[in-house]
Structure 1
Amino acid sequence: MDPTRLYLRLGALGGFANATGLVLYAYYAVRVAHLSPLELVLAGTALEVATFVFEIPTGVVADLVSRRLSVVLGYLLVGAGFVLMGAAPAFWAIAGGQFVWGIGFTFFSGAREAWLADEVGEDAAGPLYPAFVRRRQFGLLVGGFVGIGIGWWWAAGTLLIGGVLYALAGVYLLFTMTEHGFAPAPREGRATWRTSFAQAAAGLRVARARPVVVTALLTTLLMGASSESFDRLWGFHLINSFDGLPDVMPEALFFGLVQLVAQLGSIAALRIAQSRTDFNSSSSVAIGLIGSNVVTIAAMILFAGAPVFAIALVGAWITFWVRAIEEPFATAWVNRGLPSATRATVLSTVGQSNALGQIAGGPIFGALAALAGVRVSMAVAAVVLVPAVALYWRHRGPAEDEAT
């Protein structure tokens, strides 16, 4: 099949399978599997550890063996992870499934886009990346409705069917994905642990020369740690901290609609923020980051301390919507003025900082939730973002490259 058509089709297929499988995950983990707050967070940590540890080994497969093989294996493994999570409503199955899912994700993250560039050329591939995102968003919306329909009568079925869809996508790729442009990476270009450490060292050298990069490393570390508490515990809080979900429709249907509103609002919030921000100005982007973090802190505290369900729901939605702004804005902010030779290194190092924050923060906030309660855990997670606001405030003026 034509690589362009296949790549765009993957955007829709992947989004559809992902939303079908995960739209009711939080409901399934809390209401069906009865995971404790600590178990919820540790299951998420299993996913983060897998993606962090296996990023380099799976990159070797994509660089030395085959991009096509790496992508196919990735979709098959993600499917297996989803199926394992849905096969048994128990901590071992959910945590194990998330670990397998994380390994699968590392197989196709990066390899999919590298395959496209190999097959059609870098210039032709460039415009296809945002088109892929648009197709994926469409697939996510449609898959969300399908997942709600399935979960209405079978909550575990969303994960099982989502996993089967991912696996079928892998089989489909096995028969339709061509690979004519791939050439094994030369020794000096291969991804290894040694090159990973060298990359981190290079990123730190750039950080010492550019205070903005130091700020980005610290803020993404804090954002990663803070996000783990909310991402893993918001469903538990809505279901167990009040008198159940509103008795206006079946619980699974209501919970799925909450997820869809969160997703639609996130898309709208990002587009509005992008249209009102001057991305050629570091100060404009920094002010946007200050505002988004302040609102996130307030919304998370509102969510954590809400006396009634309706207020908590509003706090959750606002948190979802505003956090959709942070990652692309943070990337644009640190990207301003970076030398071309070190740009990829710095952005990768910043991404690893976020992952480390999630891995370190997850168990801490899970233990805090077990000892002091979910409300305390999420309130403390919100306060963790306060230093990030202070750091962005210090750099709200024009960047050095803009001032000269």
Structure 2
Amino acid sequence: MLSDALPLYSLYALLFTDTGLGDGQISLLFALWSGTGILAEVPTGALADRWSRRGALVAAGLLQAAAFALWTVAPGGWVFAAGFVVWGVGGALSSGALEALLYDGLAAAGAQDRYARVAGRVAAAGLLAQVPAAGAAALLFPAGGYALVGWVSVAVCLCAAALALRLRPPATPAPGTVAVPDGTPEDDGPRGYLATLRDGVGQAARVPAVRVAVLALAAIAGLDAVDEYFSLLAAGWGVPTGLNPVLVLVVTLGGAAGAGLVAYTATPPPALQSALLGAAATALAAAGVLRVPAGIVLVAVFYGGYRYVLVLVDARLQRVVDGASRATVTSVAALATELSALALFGAWAAGGVLLVAALTGALALVPLVAAGRR
């Protein structure tokens, strides 16, 4: 929650604009950020497996704090670019490491069947964090401008890194492994970084159950890029600018409710997961047809249903992965997710919300099809 409760999130695009950057320059910054994450995703996953998953989470918080400190001390085009590179590496470090540490910690306690529940709570916490973060930004900016917002965000990142140090390692190692000091599983024999990287990528590519789970997660997780368009939807449906952030928070809360609901329900069979995602697609299509401010509630229903299914698909991947390369395999899925998000961007550009709803409806078959392939 702390790693997502950053006041600067809601203002950094305005910081770029007020510093004198144009739309094209800002788009280049976002492209640099995304490109850095793509290039660093799998190598940092292997680093987490080989070195320390907990250490990767700590480093991610420190790097994000460093990026925001750079922006606050010397705002400008090249500094923004450097900050996005640092932040991109930090984001890649945490991607895969968190899921691996969580699953193996639960497995060591014989509670791996609770992964979906705990992961759902984690996802819900991250979404709920946007609410106080937005409120803090609204209070901090009038008091101290971008500088105060930036330094508070740096402090929150450092607090998140400090909390990551408190994550307890597994009490006992996973079968076939031994525990290194921070609890990261490692083979009994010498295991180099390149071997870890090769094993993780090979497992994702060659083990049928893992390959199918990776592709299923990447296909569905790519839909998450739709959150970039929620504010545009609200504006296009006649929502005043002043109320836009409030209504977008309704969608965010819907997503948090969907992810959190996993903790309180039995895991539905794949056919029901597909039906739920299909129902979510129907809600989004209905909102696109109505095109009224109240339609944001239907978007929230869509986002909640999607987030519910996403947690379950991620849990399926974690169940079939070999723990020694878990962070690497999860990072491969995250890399593929970045690529699958391009399909959503293309759907939006070609047909707006209705085509995105159609894409979601097509992807609703993924849980059912993936369950039938081993």
Please give the TM-score of this superposition, normalised by the length of structure 2: 0.67
SS in 2 for 1:308: coil
Counterpart code for 2:240: P
Deviation, 1:286, is 0.7
Task: Say whether 1:268 aligns with 2:284.
Answer: no
**1:298 equivalent in structure 2:** 282
Cα deviation 1:252-281 (Å, max 9, x = unaligned): xx444445433443343344455443x3xx
Distance 1:302 1:29 in 2: 36
Q: Figure out how many residues of one structure are paired with residues of the other and give that number.
A: 356
> 2:155 pairs with 150, 154, 164, which one?
164
**1:389 equivalent in structure 2:** 364
**1:53 equivalent in structure 2:** 39
CA contact (8 A) 2:255 2:307 kept: yes
Cα deviation 1:58-116 (Å, max 9, x = unaligned): 45665666667644432121123345667899887767644432311333556678889
Counterpart code for 2:254: G
**1:235 equivalent in structure 2:** 231
SS in 2 for 1:385: helix
Distance 1:182 1:150 in 2: 36
Deviation, 1:169, is 4.9
Cα deviation 1:196-236 (Å, max 9, x = unaligned): 344333333321xx5xx5654443333244332x1222223
**1:318 equivalent in structure 2:** 301
Distance 2:289 2:140 in 1: 32
Instruction: Name stretches of at least 5 consecutive residues in structure 2 with no aligned partner.
Output: 170-179
Distance 1:87 1:319 in 2: 40
Cα distance change, pair 88–285 in 1 and its aligned pair in 2 (3 A): farther
Task: Say whether 1:287 aligns with 2:252.
Answer: no
Cα distance change, pair 95–216 in 1 and its aligned pair in 2 (3 A): farther
**1:4 equivalent in structure 2:** none
**1:206 equivalent in structure 2:** 207
Deviation, 1:293, is 1.9
1:36-185 residue pairs with structure 2 within 5 A? Answer: 46-58=32-44, 70-83=56-69, 97-108=83-94, 122-123=108-109, 141=128, 144-151=131-138, 154=141, 156=146, 158=149, 161-167=152-158, 169-170=160-161, 181-182=181-182
CA contact (8 A) 1:58 1:106 kept: yes
**1:7 equivalent in structure 2:** none
Cα distance change, pair 358–148 in 1 and its aligned pair in 2 (3 A): same
Counterpart code for 2:155: V
Distance 1:300 1:92 in 2: 39
Distance 2:256 2:152 in 1: 25
Deviation, 1:166, is 0.8
Cα distance change, pair 360–68 in 1 and its aligned pair in 2 (3 A): closer
Cα distance change, pair 332–48 in 1 and its aligned pair in 2 (3 A): same
Distance 1:382 1:259 in 2: 18
CA contact (8 A) 2:280 2:301 kept: yes
Distance 2:150 2:365 in 1: 41
Cα distance change, pair 272–105 in 1 and its aligned pair in 2 (3 A): closer
Cα distance change, pair 138–67 in 1 and its aligned pair in 2 (3 A): closer
Cα distance change, pair 263–356 in 1 and its aligned pair in 2 (3 A): same
Deviation, 1:160, is 5.1
CA contact (8 A) 1:85 1:98 kept: no
Instruction: Name stretches of at least 5 consecutive residues in structure 1 with no aligned partner.
Output: 1-14
Distance 2:168 2:325 in 1: 30
SS in 2 for 1:299: helix
**2:313 equivalent in structure 1:** 330
Distance 2:29 2:112 in 1: 35
Distance 2:265 2:183 in 1: 43
Cα deviation 1:272-311 (Å, max 9, x = unaligned): 455443x3xxxx4212321232133223334545432332
**2:223 equivalent in structure 1:** 226
Deviation, 1:165, is 2.0
CA contact (8 A) 1:141 1:260 kept: no
Aligned CA RMSD, in angstroms, stands at 5.1
Distance 2:340 2:224 in 1: 11
Counterpart code for 2:363: A
Task: Say whether 1:352 aligns with 2:335.
Answer: no
Distance 1:39 1:50 in 2: 15
Cα distance change, pair 109–45 in 1 and its aligned pair in 2 (3 A): same
CA contact (8 A) 1:199 1:345 kept: yes
Counterpart code for 2:364: V
**1:24 equivalent in structure 2:** 10
CA contact (8 A) 1:38 1:367 kept: no
CA contact (8 A) 1:219 1:388 kept: no
Distance 1:215 1:38 in 2: 38
